[in-house]
Structure 1
């Protein structure tokens, strides 16, 4: 019978977790570079598109703070980005009826149309990249694991 040091299992699990995390980040970085290089963005940055996409999934106008929970930008950076999109008539700002100090952000008709146009092409590129590398079962597993991690972190 072999005696196992009690620190071996946690340490090896820590290494495994960090290797999995690094692999996920590397895959994300590689795919994001590939997607950024595509000629589908119509003059938008991927972060600007991310804001349009996030708003397209919402039932109605969103507060900046709510939007900030779904995009990976600091509050000041998100405020500046939203202002640029308002100036380009892709987003609209309106007063929050429940709080005069706050504003709601929503897609304009032009913003919704541009998001759909970019989204169709970008969605095809994402599907091509993902299905070229993964089977349907692997895609389902990746979705389930990613969802589980996101739920655990929130």
Structure 2
């Protein structure tokens, strides 16, 4: 006789395969279809009490495995989620551009020493230099 343990194993494999190949929407569709079939046909039309108990165990396993797969799926990292991503610097929107900067080795060594002592990142240091310089240029242009 098939018991809940059997159905847990069966639905675990089916849901896992569906989730990996087609995503959580496919798992939810399969779950809804199976649950509706058991509630509308499988349990009410069971030929005897033993078959009814088997279908109830199947339904219970179906619900347990679905909740477990859904919980795991929802806890996965990646993709858009509230609060995710790097936080903005300051209150103005920033635009990133990649640049290549060539300097003599001794300048890079001095810069690395300065940055490690100050605890500042290279990006923050360059950003400060550029912002200060642009402010100075704008001030001179306004005179």
TM-score, normalised to structure 2, is 0.27
More helix by share: 2
Q: Max radius of gyration: which structure?
A: 2
TM-score, normalised to structure 1, is 0.25
Instruction: Determine which structure has greater relative contact order: mean sequence separation of CA pairs < 8 Å that are 6+ residues apart, divided by chain length.
Output: 2
